[in-house]
Structure 1
Amino acid sequence: MDEIGQKLRAARIEKGYTLDDLQQITKIQKRYLIAIEEGNFGALPGDFYVRAFIKQYADTVGLDSDALLTQFQQDIPDTQPQEYVDQSVENKTRATRAIENNPGIKLRRYLPQVIIVLLVLVIFGAIYWAIIQQSAGEKRAIPVQSSAVSVSSKKESKSSSSSKSSSESSKKEESSSSSKKDDELTVSVAQASGSTQAVTVKNMPATGNKLKVSATGAAWVAVMVNGTTTWQATLAAGESQEVDIPDNTTTFDVRSGNALGTQLELNGKTVDISSGTSVVRTITFTADTTASSSSSSSDASESTGD
């Protein structure tokens, strides 16, 4: 057992934690905890996990993780070698090229211009048709009395049409305003219960969701979807990272080794996880599909009524 492992083990025993207790709190497998205490860093899944797990272990048993990592820096493997960075950059470049060459994305990019051109053509066609109709009407010989009746009838028709149009426009604006309020994304955060905390998201879009993770103090943070880690990093105080949530995701977890020093935002909405005293915490986000089902039923009812 090396010196850093002895120090961590002593702090754990002083806290009264067994390895099973520590596994339950940190969610780090027991065999990795044993490997850390014995200094067998090669048994961990990768160099990055060495620093992350030691940091989480230290924070949980009440040690200053930053000071500990600095003190034993020469004994801990460096994280993210240049080869990993190069591969990450190349993978991102390939992903960007694939997105740019996608025909569906290109079509969506030019769709607004196509719609505008079609609208202009429709407007010009309506104006041309109105001019032709007006010219044809002027050529007809209409008695004076009949003309007066026709003009009066047109005025009444225009007045009635204008009133109806104004009423329909008002209804559409009210409906649009109500729809926007109903469709607005809202976030409800429950009181933390031990090392877990629940977050309910109403009107969460099926695609394009982004989670911003910020650190007010050094924190190890991971985002997990369906039990698979999609992103993880150790953030220093003042650092932040924006994480893309996969499309059609209805639930995902955020694990933090320092929840009190972690801030979260979902699609620009602040997620207040400040309640609770647990340092190591798992925050579970769940999309509330009840609102979407209710909205769909309401829309169907309105459509039937119309």
Structure 2
Amino acid sequence: MSIGNAAEEDRPTVGQTLQQARVDARLTVDEVSTSTRVRVPIVRAIEEDDFSRCGGDVYARGHVRTLAREVGLDSDELVARYDAEHGGRPEPTAAPAALFEAERIRPEHRRPNWTAAMVAAIVAVVGFVGFTLVDGSGDSEPSAAEETPSAHPSQSREPSESAAPTTSVPADPKPSDSAIAAAPADKVTVRMTAEQSVWISAEDHNGRLIHEGVLQKGKSKTFTDDKRLNLVLGNAGGVKLYVNGKEVKDVGEDGQVQRLSYTRGDPEAG
């Protein structure tokens, strides 16, 4: 279905376009919500051009794209119209300066401490002279070892060299990123850690909403259920996901709305 042929002043809004396409497709709001997993209140709000419940422009674009596909519209064209109606697509923000602090501030190579080296050399010389004077005050006759050199000097040194072998104590291993403490085998456990701010929604196996909102960057959230957990990620590329103690790779891309469902046996490979 094409949505770009109408004159600019006569063209309906994004919400009106989605609503009309849904009606033309003979679909109810409940049916669209069930198939897309976008909650009914959010579907209704979007059709009324109220995007405040989406949690931000990134999530609003994801919902618009998903609903457009469901009702047979060109999702790219409708998202472009959303950007035009809401001030354009925002420029990507620069990464915080703290992220590059380690690269920008490099410690300078320290110059040799000649004063300390000279003090150490003087101490060594004084110690050697003192040892020589004390050793020379005893019997001046050469010892048996001095009169008769050992035929195998290398063998005489081996016991002293091997008498006290040095052993390195391994450092305590750091905990693995994928280690999730106490993931019970009789439940499904999902843990999310946000690397970017991520809008998430979680439902139990009965379809009951147990959480909805934005998980701020650096924060984590854990959900459990006896049978199954249904998830919606508004920015799939910005979250680390662990299911039943195993990390799930390639959850999605930045800005992508991802709908996932996990049971006690998932994932087969973490």
- TM bracket, shorter-chain basis: 0.3 to 0.5
| TM-score normalised by L of structure 2 | 0.44
Structure with higher Rg: it is 2
